[in-house]
Amino acid sequence: MLNLETPKKHRMLIDQAHQVAMNMLRPISRKYDLAEHEYPKELDMLAAMIDGLEESGASEGAGATGVRRDETAAETGNKNGSNLSSVLSVAEMCWGDVGLMLTFPRQGLGNSAIASVATDAQLERFKGTWASMAITEPAFGSDSAQVSTTAVLDGDDYVINGEKIFVTSGERSDSIVVWATLDKSLGRAAIKSFVVTKDMPGVKVERCEHKLGIRASDTAVITFTDVRVPKENLLGSPEIDVKQGFAGAMATFDNTRPLVAAMAVGCARASLDLTRDLLEQAGVTIDYDRPAQLQSAAAAKFLQLEADWEAAQLLTMQAAWMADNRKPNSLEASMAKAKAGRVASDVTLSCVELAGSVGYSEAELLEKWARDSKILDIFEGTQQIQQLIVARRILGLTSAELK
Protein backbone atom coordinates (compact mmCIF):
# COMPACT_ATOMS: atom_id res chain seq x y z
CA MET A 1 0.00 0.00 0.00
CA LEU A 2 1.06 3.60 -0.52
CA ASN A 3 2.89 5.26 2.34
CA LEU A 4 2.36 9.01 2.23
CA GLU A 5 5.79 9.80 3.67
CA THR A 6 8.77 10.44 1.42
CA PRO A 7 10.66 7.10 1.13
CA LYS A 8 13.94 7.03 3.05
CA LYS A 9 15.81 5.66 0.01
CA HIS A 10 14.97 8.80 -1.98
CA ARG A 11 15.71 11.42 0.67
CA MET A 12 19.37 11.86 -0.25
CA LEU A 13 18.45 12.38 -3.91
CA ILE A 14 15.78 14.90 -2.94
CA ASP A 15 18.20 16.78 -0.69
CA GLN A 16 20.73 16.93 -3.54
CA ALA A 17 18.08 18.19 -5.96
CA HIS A 18 17.03 20.86 -3.47
CA GLN A 19 20.62 22.03 -3.07
CA VAL A 20 20.97 22.32 -6.84
CA ALA A 21 17.69 24.23 -7.07
CA MET A 22 18.66 26.64 -4.28
CA ASN A 23 22.31 27.22 -5.13
CA MET A 24 22.41 26.87 -8.93
CA LEU A 25 18.94 27.49 -10.39
CA ARG A 26 17.53 30.23 -8.15
CA PRO A 27 20.55 32.55 -8.61
CA ILE A 28 20.16 32.53 -12.43
CA SER A 29 16.36 32.35 -12.52
CA ARG A 30 15.72 36.05 -13.14
CA LYS A 31 18.65 36.33 -15.54
CA TYR A 32 17.22 33.83 -18.03
CA ASP A 33 13.66 35.01 -17.53
CA LEU A 34 14.79 38.39 -18.85
CA ALA A 35 17.13 36.90 -21.48
CA GLU A 36 14.47 34.83 -23.27
CA HIS A 37 15.83 32.29 -25.79
CA GLU A 38 19.39 32.64 -24.50
CA TYR A 39 20.74 29.17 -23.71
CA PRO A 40 21.58 28.72 -19.98
CA LYS A 41 25.19 27.51 -20.25
CA GLU A 42 25.25 26.74 -16.53
CA LEU A 43 23.00 23.74 -17.22
CA ASP A 44 25.73 21.90 -19.11
CA MET A 45 27.62 21.34 -15.86
CA LEU A 46 24.46 20.10 -14.15
CA ALA A 47 23.74 17.74 -17.02
CA ALA A 48 27.24 16.31 -16.70
CA MET A 49 26.63 15.77 -12.98
CA ILE A 50 23.37 13.91 -13.67
CA ASP A 51 25.08 11.79 -16.33
CA GLY A 52 27.75 10.87 -13.79
CA LEU A 53 25.12 9.88 -11.24
CA GLU A 54 23.32 7.72 -13.79
CA GLU A 55 26.53 5.98 -14.83
CA SER A 56 27.34 5.25 -11.21
CA GLY A 57 23.83 3.96 -10.58
CA ALA A 58 23.28 6.52 -7.84
CA SER A 59 20.67 8.66 -9.58
CA GLU A 60 17.66 6.52 -8.56
CA GLY A 61 15.84 7.82 -11.62
CA ALA A 62 16.56 11.52 -11.21
CA GLY A 63 14.88 13.65 -13.84
CA ALA A 64 12.60 12.88 -16.75
CA THR A 65 14.58 9.96 -18.12
CA GLY A 66 13.83 7.96 -15.00
CA VAL A 67 10.19 7.52 -15.97
CA ARG A 68 9.51 3.93 -16.99
CA ARG A 69 7.27 1.16 -15.74
CA ASP A 70 9.23 -1.58 -14.02
CA GLU A 71 7.96 -4.74 -15.65
CA THR A 72 10.08 -6.89 -13.33
CA ALA A 73 8.44 -5.54 -10.19
CA ALA A 74 6.72 -8.11 -8.03
CA GLU A 75 2.98 -8.38 -8.20
CA THR A 76 2.85 -8.02 -4.42
CA GLY A 77 4.69 -5.85 -2.00
CA ASN A 78 5.66 -2.19 -2.25
CA LYS A 79 8.20 -0.72 -4.63
CA ASN A 80 9.41 2.87 -4.46
CA GLY A 81 11.15 3.10 -7.81
CA SER A 82 12.24 5.48 -10.54
CA ASN A 83 8.82 7.02 -11.17
CA LEU A 84 8.45 8.18 -7.58
CA SER A 85 12.04 9.39 -7.34
CA SER A 86 11.59 11.24 -10.64
CA VAL A 87 8.53 13.21 -9.56
CA LEU A 88 10.08 14.02 -6.19
CA SER A 89 13.36 15.24 -7.70
CA VAL A 90 11.56 17.17 -10.47
CA ALA A 91 9.43 18.94 -7.85
CA GLU A 92 12.58 20.00 -6.01
CA MET A 93 14.21 21.30 -9.19
CA CYS A 94 11.08 23.27 -10.08
CA TRP A 95 11.20 24.81 -6.61
CA GLY A 96 14.27 26.42 -8.15
CA ASP A 97 12.97 27.24 -11.65
CA VAL A 98 10.48 25.51 -13.94
CA GLY A 99 11.86 26.96 -17.18
CA LEU A 100 15.40 25.90 -16.39
CA MET A 101 14.20 22.42 -15.40
CA LEU A 102 12.42 22.11 -18.74
CA THR A 103 15.57 22.93 -20.68
CA PHE A 104 17.90 20.45 -18.98
CA PRO A 105 19.93 18.59 -21.65
CA ARG A 106 18.72 15.01 -22.17
CA GLN A 107 15.83 15.53 -19.75
CA GLY A 108 13.08 16.49 -22.21
CA LEU A 109 9.50 15.25 -22.24
CA GLY A 110 10.47 13.28 -25.33
CA ASN A 111 12.96 11.38 -23.18
CA SER A 112 10.06 10.43 -20.91
CA ALA A 113 8.09 9.22 -23.91
CA ILE A 114 11.01 7.07 -25.07
CA ALA A 115 11.47 5.66 -21.58
CA SER A 116 7.75 4.89 -21.37
CA VAL A 117 7.15 2.95 -24.59
CA ALA A 118 10.47 2.12 -26.31
CA THR A 119 11.74 -1.43 -26.63
CA ASP A 120 14.95 -2.39 -24.82
CA ALA A 121 16.84 -2.19 -28.13
CA GLN A 122 15.46 1.30 -28.78
CA LEU A 123 16.35 2.41 -25.26
CA GLU A 124 19.94 1.45 -25.90
CA ARG A 125 20.01 3.04 -29.36
CA PHE A 126 18.55 6.37 -28.21
CA LYS A 127 20.57 6.52 -25.01
CA GLY A 128 22.09 9.97 -24.55
CA THR A 129 19.75 11.78 -26.92
CA TRP A 130 17.98 14.99 -25.90
CA ALA A 131 14.42 14.50 -27.09
CA SER A 132 11.62 17.05 -27.22
CA MET A 133 8.03 15.90 -27.83
CA ALA A 134 5.92 17.16 -30.72
CA ILE A 135 2.17 16.54 -30.49
CA THR A 136 0.22 19.80 -30.86
CA GLU A 137 -0.58 21.12 -34.34
CA PRO A 138 -2.08 24.39 -35.65
CA ALA A 139 -5.49 22.72 -36.06
CA PHE A 140 -5.78 21.24 -32.56
CA GLY A 141 -4.58 21.60 -28.99
CA SER A 142 -5.53 19.14 -26.27
CA ASP A 143 -7.38 16.61 -28.42
CA SER A 144 -4.36 14.52 -29.40
CA ALA A 145 -6.61 12.18 -31.39
CA GLN A 146 -6.81 14.89 -34.08
CA VAL A 147 -3.19 14.41 -35.16
CA SER A 148 -2.93 15.07 -38.90
CA THR A 149 0.84 14.77 -39.39
CA THR A 150 1.27 11.70 -41.60
CA ALA A 151 3.79 8.87 -41.62
CA VAL A 152 3.71 6.76 -44.79
CA LEU A 153 5.77 3.57 -45.02
CA ASP A 154 8.06 3.60 -48.05
CA GLY A 155 10.47 0.68 -48.14
CA ASP A 156 12.51 0.69 -44.95
CA ASP A 157 11.52 4.24 -44.04
CA TYR A 158 8.48 6.18 -42.92
CA VAL A 159 8.01 9.48 -44.75
CA ILE A 160 6.71 12.13 -42.33
CA ASN A 161 4.92 15.33 -43.35
CA GLY A 162 3.29 17.91 -41.10
CA GLU A 163 3.73 20.85 -38.74
CA LYS A 164 4.04 20.85 -34.96
CA ILE A 165 3.70 23.83 -32.63
CA PHE A 166 4.53 24.52 -28.96
CA VAL A 167 7.40 22.02 -28.95
CA THR A 168 9.20 22.40 -25.61
CA SER A 169 13.00 22.46 -26.15
CA GLY A 170 12.25 22.17 -29.85
CA GLU A 171 15.21 24.30 -30.89
CA ARG A 172 17.81 22.99 -28.43
CA SER A 173 17.03 19.26 -28.49
CA ASP A 174 18.85 16.98 -30.92
CA SER A 175 15.86 14.71 -31.57
CA ILE A 176 12.07 14.94 -31.50
CA VAL A 177 9.42 12.39 -30.59
CA VAL A 178 6.82 13.12 -33.28
CA TRP A 179 3.24 11.90 -33.11
CA ALA A 180 1.91 11.03 -36.57
CA THR A 181 -0.84 8.92 -38.10
CA LEU A 182 -0.18 5.89 -40.26
CA ASP A 183 -3.68 6.00 -41.74
CA LYS A 184 -6.15 8.82 -41.09
CA SER A 185 -9.11 6.63 -42.04
CA LEU A 186 -8.40 4.31 -39.10
CA GLY A 187 -8.66 7.11 -36.54
CA ARG A 188 -6.93 7.09 -33.16
CA ALA A 189 -5.55 3.56 -33.41
CA ALA A 190 -3.24 4.58 -36.26
CA ILE A 191 -1.43 7.29 -34.28
CA LYS A 192 2.16 6.34 -33.47
CA SER A 193 5.24 8.14 -32.16
CA PHE A 194 8.57 8.34 -34.00
CA VAL A 195 12.04 9.45 -32.96
CA VAL A 196 13.15 12.01 -35.55
CA THR A 197 16.67 13.42 -35.32
CA LYS A 198 17.35 17.05 -36.19
CA ASP A 199 19.91 16.17 -38.87
CA MET A 200 17.33 14.38 -41.03
CA PRO A 201 16.63 16.31 -44.27
CA GLY A 202 13.27 18.06 -44.19
CA VAL A 203 13.26 18.92 -40.46
CA LYS A 204 13.11 22.69 -39.95
CA VAL A 205 12.73 24.77 -36.78
CA GLU A 206 10.67 27.68 -38.06
CA ARG A 207 10.73 29.93 -34.99
CA CYS A 208 10.71 30.13 -31.20
CA GLU A 209 7.69 31.60 -29.43
CA HIS A 210 7.73 34.55 -27.03
CA LYS A 211 5.84 33.49 -23.91
CA LEU A 212 4.21 34.64 -20.68
CA GLY A 213 6.34 32.36 -18.52
CA ILE A 214 9.00 29.60 -18.53
CA ARG A 215 11.05 31.93 -20.69
CA ALA A 216 14.29 30.06 -20.00
CA SER A 217 12.77 27.17 -21.97
CA ASP A 218 12.58 27.43 -25.77
CA THR A 219 9.19 26.63 -27.33
CA ALA A 220 9.40 26.04 -31.08
CA VAL A 221 7.40 25.58 -34.26
CA ILE A 222 8.81 22.72 -36.36
CA THR A 223 7.88 21.58 -39.86
CA PHE A 224 8.50 18.15 -41.38
CA THR A 225 8.70 17.94 -45.16
CA ASP A 226 9.20 14.47 -46.68
CA VAL A 227 11.36 13.47 -43.72
CA ARG A 228 12.58 9.90 -44.13
CA VAL A 229 12.72 8.11 -40.79
CA PRO A 230 13.96 4.51 -40.43
CA LYS A 231 11.07 2.24 -39.51
CA GLU A 232 13.06 1.11 -36.48
CA ASN A 233 12.48 4.62 -35.06
CA LEU A 234 8.78 3.94 -34.54
CA LEU A 235 8.39 3.59 -30.78
CA GLY A 236 6.65 0.43 -29.65
CA SER A 237 4.62 -1.76 -32.00
CA PRO A 238 3.97 -0.71 -35.62
CA GLU A 239 0.75 -2.77 -35.66
CA ILE A 240 -2.54 -0.87 -35.82
CA ASP A 241 -4.82 -2.40 -33.21
CA VAL A 242 -8.31 -0.96 -33.71
CA LYS A 243 -9.56 -2.74 -30.58
CA GLN A 244 -6.86 -1.14 -28.46
CA GLY A 245 -7.59 2.19 -30.08
CA PHE A 246 -5.62 5.14 -28.77
CA ALA A 247 -4.51 3.36 -25.60
CA GLY A 248 -1.01 2.59 -26.84
CA ALA A 249 -0.14 6.20 -27.64
CA MET A 250 -1.91 7.57 -24.59
CA ALA A 251 0.10 5.29 -22.29
CA THR A 252 2.91 7.84 -22.62
CA PHE A 253 0.77 10.40 -20.78
CA ASP A 254 0.24 8.05 -17.83
CA ASN A 255 3.94 8.53 -17.08
CA THR A 256 4.51 12.12 -18.21
CA ARG A 257 1.46 13.72 -16.57
CA PRO A 258 2.70 12.98 -13.03
CA LEU A 259 5.97 14.67 -14.04
CA VAL A 260 4.12 17.85 -15.04
CA ALA A 261 2.09 17.62 -11.84
CA ALA A 262 5.39 17.45 -9.96
CA MET A 263 6.56 20.60 -11.73
CA ALA A 264 3.39 22.35 -10.53
CA VAL A 265 3.89 21.05 -6.99
CA GLY A 266 7.46 22.39 -6.92
CA CYS A 267 6.56 25.82 -8.29
CA ALA A 268 3.64 26.20 -5.89
CA ARG A 269 5.76 25.22 -2.90
CA ALA A 270 8.36 27.83 -3.84
CA SER A 271 5.64 30.50 -3.65
CA LEU A 272 4.33 29.19 -0.33
CA ASP A 273 7.79 29.08 1.26
CA LEU A 274 8.63 32.65 0.29
CA THR A 275 5.18 34.00 1.17
CA ARG A 276 5.34 32.40 4.63
CA ASP A 277 8.61 34.26 5.25
CA LEU A 278 7.22 37.54 3.93
CA LEU A 279 4.10 37.26 6.10
CA GLU A 280 6.18 36.55 9.19
CA GLN A 281 8.34 39.60 8.44
CA ALA A 282 5.13 41.64 8.24
CA GLY A 283 4.02 40.37 11.65
CA VAL A 284 1.44 37.83 10.42
CA THR A 285 1.66 34.68 12.54
CA ILE A 286 0.48 31.37 11.07
CA ASP A 287 -0.54 29.09 13.93
CA TYR A 288 -1.04 25.46 12.91
CA ASP A 289 -2.57 24.62 16.28
CA ARG A 290 -5.50 27.05 15.97
CA PRO A 291 -8.55 26.90 13.66
CA ALA A 292 -8.23 29.10 10.59
CA GLN A 293 -11.33 31.13 11.47
CA LEU A 294 -9.65 32.30 14.68
CA GLN A 295 -6.65 33.74 12.81
CA SER A 296 -6.12 36.72 10.55
CA ALA A 297 -7.55 36.63 7.02
CA ALA A 298 -4.05 36.35 5.56
CA ALA A 299 -3.14 33.42 7.82
CA ALA A 300 -6.44 31.66 7.10
CA LYS A 301 -5.92 32.05 3.36
CA PHE A 302 -2.38 30.70 3.64
CA LEU A 303 -3.55 27.61 5.54
CA GLN A 304 -6.13 26.90 2.82
CA LEU A 305 -3.47 27.21 0.12
CA GLU A 306 -1.18 24.81 1.97
CA ALA A 307 -3.97 22.26 2.31
CA ASP A 308 -4.66 22.41 -1.45
CA TRP A 309 -0.95 22.05 -2.17
CA GLU A 310 -0.62 18.98 0.04
CA ALA A 311 -3.54 17.29 -1.74
CA ALA A 312 -1.82 17.92 -5.09
CA GLN A 313 1.47 16.55 -3.80
CA LEU A 314 -0.10 13.35 -2.48
CA LEU A 315 -2.03 12.72 -5.70
CA THR A 316 1.20 13.15 -7.65
CA MET A 317 3.07 10.71 -5.43
CA GLN A 318 0.21 8.21 -5.72
CA ALA A 319 0.22 8.28 -9.53
CA ALA A 320 3.99 7.75 -9.65
CA TRP A 321 3.91 5.02 -7.00
CA MET A 322 1.24 3.15 -8.97
CA ALA A 323 3.44 3.22 -12.07
CA ASP A 324 6.34 1.83 -10.04
CA ASN A 325 4.11 -0.98 -8.82
CA ARG A 326 2.66 -1.88 -12.23
CA LYS A 327 -0.82 -0.66 -11.36
CA PRO A 328 -3.02 1.05 -14.00
CA ASN A 329 -2.76 4.76 -13.22
CA SER A 330 -4.49 6.61 -16.07
CA LEU A 331 -7.19 7.93 -13.73
CA GLU A 332 -4.72 8.90 -11.02
CA ALA A 333 -2.29 10.49 -13.50
CA SER A 334 -5.06 12.75 -14.83
CA MET A 335 -6.32 13.51 -11.33
CA ALA A 336 -2.82 14.51 -10.25
CA LYS A 337 -2.26 16.67 -13.33
CA ALA A 338 -5.66 18.36 -12.97
CA LYS A 339 -5.31 19.05 -9.27
CA ALA A 340 -1.67 20.14 -9.33
CA GLY A 341 -2.10 22.33 -12.40
CA ARG A 342 -5.02 24.20 -10.88
CA VAL A 343 -3.35 24.44 -7.47
CA ALA A 344 -0.18 25.88 -8.95
CA SER A 345 -2.09 28.72 -10.62
CA ASP A 346 -4.26 29.37 -7.56
CA VAL A 347 -1.36 29.26 -5.10
CA THR A 348 1.08 31.42 -7.05
CA LEU A 349 -1.51 34.10 -7.86
CA SER A 350 -2.82 34.10 -4.29
CA CYS A 351 0.72 34.47 -2.98
CA VAL A 352 1.20 37.52 -5.20
CA GLU A 353 -1.92 38.98 -3.61
CA LEU A 354 -0.89 38.11 -0.05
CA ALA A 355 2.50 39.77 -0.55
CA GLY A 356 0.92 42.96 -1.91
CA SER A 357 3.23 45.33 -3.78
CA VAL A 358 6.23 43.09 -3.06
CA GLY A 359 4.45 40.20 -4.78
CA TYR A 360 3.67 42.24 -7.88
CA SER A 361 7.16 43.71 -8.28
CA GLU A 362 10.33 42.10 -9.62
CA ALA A 363 11.96 42.54 -6.23
CA GLU A 364 10.98 38.94 -5.52
CA LEU A 365 10.29 35.94 -7.75
CA LEU A 366 6.60 35.62 -6.81
CA GLU A 367 5.35 37.35 -9.97
CA LYS A 368 7.60 35.16 -12.09
CA TRP A 369 6.31 31.97 -10.48
CA ALA A 370 2.75 33.16 -11.13
CA ARG A 371 3.61 33.50 -14.83
CA ASP A 372 5.51 30.22 -14.96
CA SER A 373 2.76 28.22 -13.28
CA LYS A 374 0.07 28.86 -15.91
CA ILE A 375 1.61 26.57 -18.51
CA LEU A 376 1.56 23.70 -16.02
CA ASP A 377 -2.24 23.77 -16.13
CA ILE A 378 -2.19 23.71 -19.93
CA PHE A 379 0.44 21.46 -21.51
CA GLU A 380 0.30 17.66 -21.35
CA GLY A 381 -3.48 18.08 -21.46
CA THR A 382 -5.41 21.09 -20.19
CA GLN A 383 -7.39 21.27 -16.95
CA GLN A 384 -10.61 20.71 -18.89
CA ILE A 385 -9.27 17.68 -20.74
CA GLN A 386 -8.04 16.11 -17.50
CA GLN A 387 -11.45 16.54 -15.90
CA LEU A 388 -13.03 14.94 -18.96
CA ILE A 389 -10.67 11.96 -18.73
CA VAL A 390 -11.38 11.57 -15.01
CA ALA A 391 -15.13 11.68 -15.64
CA ARG A 392 -14.89 9.03 -18.36
CA ARG A 393 -12.85 6.73 -16.12
CA ILE A 394 -15.15 7.09 -13.14
CA LEU A 395 -18.36 6.72 -15.16
CA GLY A 396 -16.99 3.96 -17.40
CA LEU A 397 -17.79 5.88 -20.59
CA THR A 398 -15.84 6.06 -23.85
CA SER A 399 -14.65 9.25 -25.52
CA ALA A 400 -17.50 8.88 -28.00
CA GLU A 401 -20.06 8.63 -25.18
CA LEU A 402 -18.73 11.58 -23.17
CA LYS A 403 -17.27 14.48 -25.13
* DSSP result, 132-158: EEE--BTTBSS-GGG---EEEEETTEE
Contact 112, 65 (CB under 8 A): yes
Catalytic residue among 36, 60, 380, 401: 380
Alpha helices in 21-81 (DSSP H): 26-34, 42-56
CA distance 209 to 166: 8
DSSP secondary structure string, 279-293?
Answer: HHHTT----TTS-GG
The string of DSSP codes covering 246-264 is: THHHHHHHHHHHHHHHHHH
The CA distance from 151 to 161, in Å, is 7
Q: Report d(CA 390, CA 162) in Å as an integer.
A: 31
At what angle are helices 82-96 and 8-20 packed, to 10 degrees?
30
CA distance 319 to 157: 37
User: Longest C-alpha distance within the chain, in Å?
Assistant: 73
Q: Give 228's strand partners.
A: 159
CA dist 89 and 187 (Å) reads 37
**Is 380 in the active site?**
yes
Q: Is 396 left (phi over 0), alpha (psi -120 to 50) or beta?
A: left
Provide DSSP, 353-400: HHTTHHHHSTTSSHHHHHHHHHHTTTTTS-HHHHHHHHHHHHHT--TT
Residue 225: helix, strand or coil by DSSP? Answer: strand
Q: How far is CA 158 from CA 102, 175, 245, 357, in A?
A: 29, 16, 21, 56
Name the residues annotated as catalytic.
Answer: 380
